[in-house]
Every structure is written in C-alpha cells, then in structure tokens.
Amino acid sequence: MWADTLLIVGISVFTALLGEGVTWLLVYKTEKYQRLKAEIDRQSKKLEKFKETCSDTLDKGLKKKIDREEEKLKNNNRDLSLVKMKSMLAIGFAFTALLGMFNSIFDGRVVAKLPFTPISWVQGLSHRNLSGEDYTDCSFIFLYILCTMSIRQNIQKLLGFAPSRAANKQSGGLFGQQPPSLK
C-alpha cells in the first residue's frame, strides 16, 4: 500500500504546484491583482483599526466613514474575485480532466486502509467505486481530497499566495478565502 499512498501524495503535491503555477502566471503576477491585493490588505487593516478604536463611540461621522470604507473594500473584493475567476475556470477544466484520468487509473482499487470508520455521509466519498462492505477501505478520491486540503493550503501559505488574515476577517471569508480546490 505504500506505493499507492505515496503516489497519491505525489500527485497531490504536483497538482497543487501546477495549480499555483498557473494561477501565478494568469493572476498573481499581473499588476492589477497585485494592486488590488495591496489595496485590500491596506483597507482591511485600516478598517480593523477603525472598528477597534471606535467601537464604543456613537459618532455619526465616524460611522459614515466606516461605511464608506466598507463599501470601497467590498468593491475591491469583487474586482479581485473577477480577476481570479479567469484562472479558476482554466484550472477547473484542466483539473477535472486530470482527475478523471487518475480516477480511471485507481478505479475500484483500495489505495489505503483507514484507521477509523468514516461517518455515513463521508462514506460515499471514502468508499467510492469500491466493492464490499468494509468501510475502512479507502478510495483514491478520499485520500486525494485530504492530501489536497492540507498540501495546497500549506503551499499557498509558504509561497505567500494565501489571502491575508485581515482581508479574510473583513470579507467574512466570502471573497477573500479560497476553498481548497477538489478538482
């Protein structure tokens, strides 16, 4: 089982790097993205500070200012997600094809033995295309998703591509946060 599991980790590292590489080419290195990201980080920090210092004052002028800043931030966040969209689509298509290929290679194969029995709504994934009733059998897709969840996020953070905490906090995780791609 070593060969299969390590191969899946390798595939996951490869796809995460490929995904980040393509995103770098299409998005991260563009001037527009860098400008927007810097702007959002700056505005988020400013807003956070504003909110901290003015939380107990009832100054209407300040509240209006905060509202204006929030509106600006929202617009910038929308622009940023539009910039990202292009590459997300490209990566989505490419990875769906890649995943299809890997899925057919590992079809019906038990790639690992889980040390626990997954809860029922995860079993559809962990036991996908596997025969038998032993739910500790692990399918390719389940291990791949787990690998991607941890590897992609860490690679993004290492390379400094993860959205900043301040931006995440201000946008409520709606725009700033990138869910780990499962495709």
The answer to whether 9 contacts another protein (rule: CB under 8 A) is: yes
Answer yes or no whether residue 149 interacts with another protein by CB under 8 A.
yes
Residue 1 or 85 with smaller CB distance to another protein: 1
CB-side neighbour CA atoms (13 Å) of 67: 6
- 71-98 as b/e: b if 16+ CB within 10 A: eebeebbebbbebbeebbeebeeebeee
For the chain, report the end-to-end CA distance as a whole number of angstroms.
Answer: 24
Site string for another protein, 93-112 (x = CB under 8 A): -------------------x
Q: Rounded distance, CA 8 to CA 152, Å?
A: 14
Binding characters for another protein, 153-182, by CB under 8 A (x = yes)? xx--x--x---xx-----------------
The yes or no reply on residue 35 touching another protein (CB under 8 A) is no
DSSP 112: E
Binding site for another protein (CB under 8 A): 1-2, 5-6, 9, 112-117, 138, 143, 146-147, 149-150, 153-154, 157, 160, 164-165
